[in-house]
Structure 1
Amino acid sequence: MAPTPDDTFDVVVLGAGSGGYAAALRAAQLGLTVALVEEGKVGGTCLHSGCIPTKALLHAAELADGAREGARFGVRSTFEGIDMAAVAAYKDGVVAGLFKGLEGLVSSRGITVVRGHGRLVGPDTVEVRAAHGAEAPARLVGRHVVVATGSFPRTLPGLEIGGRVVTSEQALRLDTVPRSVIVLGGGVIGVEFASVWRSFGAEVHVVEALDHLVPAEDDALSKALERAFRKRGIRFTLGDRFEKVAEDDSGVHVRLASGATLDADLLLVAVGRGPRTAGIGLEEQGVTLDRGFVVVDERLHTGVGNVWAVGDVVPGLQLAHRGFAQGIAVAERIAGLTPAPLDEATVPRVTYSDPEVASVGLTERAAVEQHGADGVETLEYNLAGNGRSKILGTQGFVKLVRRKDGPVLGVHMIGARVGELVGEAQLVVSWDAYPEDVAALVHAHPTQNEALGEAHLALAGKPLHAHN
């Protein structure tokens, strides 16, 4: 249904990514009328150019490594190469299927989807210009407005995107495997693409300005990932900054602040994501921005009229599932419910590299800052003692951080498929569980999930297998 100039809705949502469509779906479920404004496709970055297509590439990479390593398991398999057209077809098929399902869901809830660029022209009014700009802009009045416009790949001053210099969005559309890649940024996006390209056969060199890969994670996980990457032949330079890049027919040539130079076919810029808040009328309506991010209270309200914000535009973890949870919470508050504020420390984090990194809660460093060195206890349980991990041939560990004589504050894991274990870890941290509470639970055998149980047994003072 196309809106008319006089259309008024209970909720107008600006942006149809994870946070926006979650807010729209929950609001409609609660009986509110909803307009969902989106310039691109419903699903946003995560579905179309982020989480989903990236993880599809990572699964293809896992299969490539499996083909190489078949003999290790008694399977006669060989790796013959990567057909990027076929990989792209598989990736695009996954995205298309999820997109079709999401569009159907949005339609079935009676949500009005308005295509075009939305801009606040009043605290309760959104003007939407169609992409081609031929028609007069539609004006939507919302008793509440939810800003959920997401984020974009950042670059650095003097570093222009184009040609052999790409962001993650262009990297997802490559039709060949580069022979060599420099990845600028050793955070989640950088190490995931580094992992994919190495599995596809490329030479990879990661440059990270901080002292560790995945620097937001516990130091023990960062060091373990660095060891694993060295073993895989992924090179990296830490504690050094990008200075300039030159491009010619032979490739890209990157100079670092230390004076070191690196050469490759391609440069991936993965230095983080910025909030997509420019040009949508926020400051004109009195909404406070900080470095482009929307400043909100613990309820995600902007302090202006009935304007709310969720997802990547709000300072904090830029994760799809965080935005999704925030979207639901805001819809419930608009409907008169009182959901508890989201505790960011309980939001799980997963890096889908090989090996995977998964965590929730405080790192050891953060726990010590809060409770002092004498007030924190840690334990690492090596996956070498876990039967399922042994079968999979993976290495890694589960690290627990607890307040001394108190609850578990953080769970940090590295190894194949540990992202699938973070659900229980989230419950442990969210519910302030003591090691003894988790140790009493029965974990199925043989599963990697047992490693969580064994780690808590050990931290509770009754280790049954060796741990480091």
Structure 2
Amino acid sequence: MKTETCKLLILGAGPGGYVCGIRAGQLGVDTIVVEAAKPGGTCLNVGCIPSKALIHAAGEFAKARAFAEENELGIRGGVPTIDLQRTVAWKDSVVERLTRGVSGLLRKAKVRTIHGHAIIIDGKTVEIRNDDDPIRIRTENLVIATGSTPFELPSLPFGGRVISSTDALSLIQVPAKLAIVGGGYIGLEIGIAMAKLGATVTVVEAAERILPQYDAELTDPVKKRLSEYGIALHLSANASGLGSSGDTLMVDTADGEVELPADLVLVTVGRQATTSGFGLESLGLSQNGPYLAIDDRCATSMRGVYAIGDVTGDPMLAHRAMAQGNMVAEIVAGKDISWDKRAIPAVCFTDPELVVAGLLPSDPKAAEAKVSLFPFSANGRALSMERSDGFVRIVSDPKTDLVLGIQAVGAGVSEMAGQFAMSLEMACTLTDIGETIHAHPTLGEVVQEAAMKGLGKAMHS
């Protein structure tokens, strides 16, 4: 059997794993990254990037359809059609370009990459099985970055008419009737895109509102837009399985069981950490529920074994995994650092988009906090873009005006996520934001206006 040795071995080349590998290589750490599929992981290959490509294409198609009818802009065009197979091919080309880029960056950092399925022998030894002869790797430090997979419902196992988000992003025909089980961000992002492409969409959510981790004030603009797209909601409802004919979804509601027509059923009820199938149980690591338990250096209960990304639990976000991967690489390189992030922004690429950073008004830690909100309907740039729904909201300490959280819902607000996180990381006060000159006319002025409103100095409300 062929053998290799390294200082750092990373299992998984998703956002956390490849960033960890690149940074380690830049720091001169002898590093190997093992991946059974393509570099980039779920996010790049079947998640974040392809879903945003589909969302973009669906949005452009919806605009073209709107211009085929009477509109206030005076634009006239013919009735558009879409070749979804060609759209998917374009989406795949974007993904391929980015995966090639990740591979190139790993090579540039002098990181060795091995394609194959890893089996952990012990905390210092991993066997890689592929189409060639197996490889045994001895390492000083092991990073588990195996990510997560879509959660499967026992009553709706994947296969046939029941699909996962991965399957949904590779459809070459728009389903006439799409039922979505789960009203979280993944289901809503795909559901809105499919509705824009012409599908009749129904969403089934067990909670009493969509995006249940957020408050109603924040999610109501999204709910209103769903109605405008003809997306039907069944809230406080549970899907129990396919109907006897196979082309319907059975749903238990407060008013009894209903049968929803469905050519396809998309199940998006969350993701589960990938902790089995590669010998992890042999290490006997401490767990936090279904996730690997880690400390503020991403170290597990075994010396020299680290874990990053979705396998460590919520929030399951690519940018969290990237930050963890960067930190672990520096720790292995000898730097004395630990996790000290004050904010991890979360973005829902729904229509309108939604961004959350820091504390929500409903958070127990914000019980006495001051909340200031400014609407996009009072912003010139938003009005000129025909998208003035939504707002920016700031949660602050009433005594010191320290910003504790910032949220926004509206068109294009995903691009504000960095500003929100930076404001929290730098411990900004309302005055810091309010007295910073924001360019006019921009959507960003609404952030300034929300801060000024919190100071009692609002100019445009």
Measure, in 2, the Cα distance between the counterparts of 1:17 and 1:421: 25
One-letter code of the match for 1:385? A
Question: 2:326 aligns to what?
Answer: 328
Contact 1:294 1:313 in 2 (8 A): yes
Tell me the distance in 1 between the aligned counterparts of 2:114 and 2:340: 29
1:207-229 deviations in whole A, cap 9, x for unaligned?
11112211122331122211221
2:421 paired with 1:426 = yes
CA gap 1:103/1:300 in 2 versus in 1, 3 angstroms: same
TM-fit CA distance, 1:89: 1.6
* Structure-2 separation of matches of 1:175 and 1:274: 27
1:392 to 385, 388, 394: 385
Q: Is the 8 A contact 1:212 1:223 kept in 2?
A: no
Give SS of 1:96's match. helix
TM-score norm. by structure 2 comes to 0.95
- Residues 272-318 of structure 1: CA deviation (Å, up to 9, x unaligned): 11111102222211212344311111211002020000001002111
1:127 is matched with 127
Instruction: Give 2:92's aligned residue.
Output: 92
Corresponding residue for residue 298 of structure 2: 300
1:4-54 deviation digits (Å, cap 9, x = unpaired)? 733210100000000000100010011001100000011111111000000
DSSP-derived class of the 2:251 partner: strand
Q: Cα offset for 1:252? A: 2.8
Q: 1:306 to 1:122 in 2, by over 3 A?
A: same
Q: Please report how far the alpha carbon of residue 94 of structure 1 lies from its aligned counterpart in structure 2 after TM superposition.
A: 0.9
Given the two structures, how large is their TM-score scaled by the length of structure 1?
Answer: 0.94
Supply the distance in 1 between the matched residues of 2:79 and 2:209 (Cα, whole angstroms): 32
Question: 1:431-451: per-residue Cα shift (whole Å, max 9, x none)?
Answer: 221111110101111111111
1:140 to 2:137 alignment: yes
**TM superposition shift of 1:398:** 0.8
**More displaced 10-residue stretch of structure 1: 142-151 or 59-68:** 59-68
8 Å CA contact 1:254, 1:263 repeated in 2: no
Instruction: Please give the alpha-carbon distance, in whole angstroms, between the structure 1 residues aligned to 2:2 and 2:217.
Output: 57
Equivalent residue pairs, number = 454
- Whole-angstrom CA distance in 1 between matches of 2:120 and 2:393: 46
Matched residue type, 1:304: M
Determine if contact 1:411/1:425 at 8 Å carries over to the other structure: yes
Deviation at 1:342, TM superposition (A): 4.4
Q: Percent identity?
A: 35
Q: Is there any run of 5+ residues in structure 1 with no aligned partner, and where?
A: none
C-alpha distance in 2, partners of 1:317/1:447?
A: 30
Secondary structure of the corresponding residue to residue 410 of structure 1: strand
Secondary structure (helix, strand or coil) at the match of 1:19 reads helix
1:444 counterpart residue number? 439
Between the aligned partners of 1:235 and 1:346, the Cα distance in structure 2 is 34
Encode CA deviations 1:220-254: one digit per residue, 9 max, x unaligned: 112221122112221111111222223646x2332
| Structure 1 partner of 2:189 | 192
RMSD (CA atoms): 1.5
Other-structure match for 1:370? 365
- Please list, as runs of the form range in 1=range in 2, the aligned pairs for 1:217-236 lying within 5 A after superposition: 217-236=214-233
The within-5 A match list for 1:19-418 is 19-70=16-67, 71-130=71-130, 132=131, 135-246=132-243, 248=245, 251-256=247-252, 258=254, 259-343=257-341, 346-366=343-363, 369-372=364-367, 375-394=368-387, 395-406=389-400, 407-418=402-413
Does the 8 A contact of 2:180 with 2:201 survive in 1?
Answer: yes
Measured after TM superposition, the shift of residue 461 of structure 1 is 1.4
Distance 1:117 1:455 in 2: 51
SS of alignment partner, residue 52 of structure 1? helix
SS in 1 for 2:75: coil
Distance 1:77 1:221 in 2: 35
Residues 386-435 of structure 1: CA distance to partner in whole angstroms, max 9, x if unpaired?
11111111111111111222311111111110101111111112222111
Q: For 1:128, give the aligned amino acid.
A: I
The alignment partner of 1:77 has SS state of coil
Contact kept? 2:237, 2:251, Cα under 8 Å = no
Aligned partner letter, 2:438: H
